[in-house]
Chain A
Amino acid sequence: TQLLEQSPQFLSIQEGENLTVYCNSSSVFSSLQWYRQEPGEGPVLLVTVVTGGEVKKLKRLTFQFGDARKDSSLHITAAQTGDTGLYLCAGVDGGSAGNQFYFGTGTSLTVIP
């Protein structure tokens, strides 16, 4: 079993603050994905990182894949109330008969106006 630990589990911050969420594993993955889930909906993909050391930026969100492809971080700058949700990382192992996705434990973010 490949486990991904996310920290923190819960985060409540004021609008405008910065935050970082961590996703750690002892396993190496082909790629790593971050999803955001809003109440009553399914998770939606934010980004896929593939190369060790890769950094991807999506507006105020910065994603980094560790050099050894075992861990990742998500940094949000100047958080907004619309960032509220459950953030999930997922390690991906590719295969000819479909990928294996290993989800992290989740980080529940609340941004207070």
Chain B
Amino acid sequence: DSGVTQTPKHLITATGQRVTLRCSPRSGDLSVYWYQQSLDQGLQFLIQYYNGEERAKGNILERFSAQQFPDLHSELNLSSLELGDSALYFCASSVASSRSPLHFGNGTRLTVT
């Protein structure tokens, strides 16, 4: 158990809809990262938050947004969903040390129909 909790585990929705994915980081971790993983592909970095502030942005579409709340949990909002947004979305957390790993949740599998 990584200590990172993601909900929901599965999400099926229609094109054009909006969904919110939730992540609770490991206790004590200030950094939260969001990644997208399509079938048989590596991890695409979306966005990182540190202690409530946006720290870095990757290949995140304008239709996607995220935030980290004062209690350090984070939400990833995906809107105007397209078929190509179907993927596994992972949240990970870490402490701010160069030797510290990322602790991943088990992901949310999003299917857009």
Contact = CB atoms under 8 A, between A and B. Distances in A.
- Which of B53, B97, B99, B106 has the largest number of chain A CB atoms within 10 A? B99
Size category of the A interface is: 20 to 34
Given A42-B106, A44-B104, A101 B45 contact: yes
B53 A97 contact: yes
A106 B106 contact: no
Interface stretch (B14-22, B35-43, B71-79): B35-43
Interface residues of B, number: 31
B42 A106 contact: yes
Contacts of B65: none
Interface string B80-107: 0000000000101010111111101111
Interface of A: 30-31, 33, 35, 40-45, 48, 50, 86, 88, 90, 92-106, 108
Interface of B: 2, 4, 30-31, 33, 35, 40-43, 45, 48, 50-51, 53, 55-56, 90, 92, 94, 96-102, 104-107
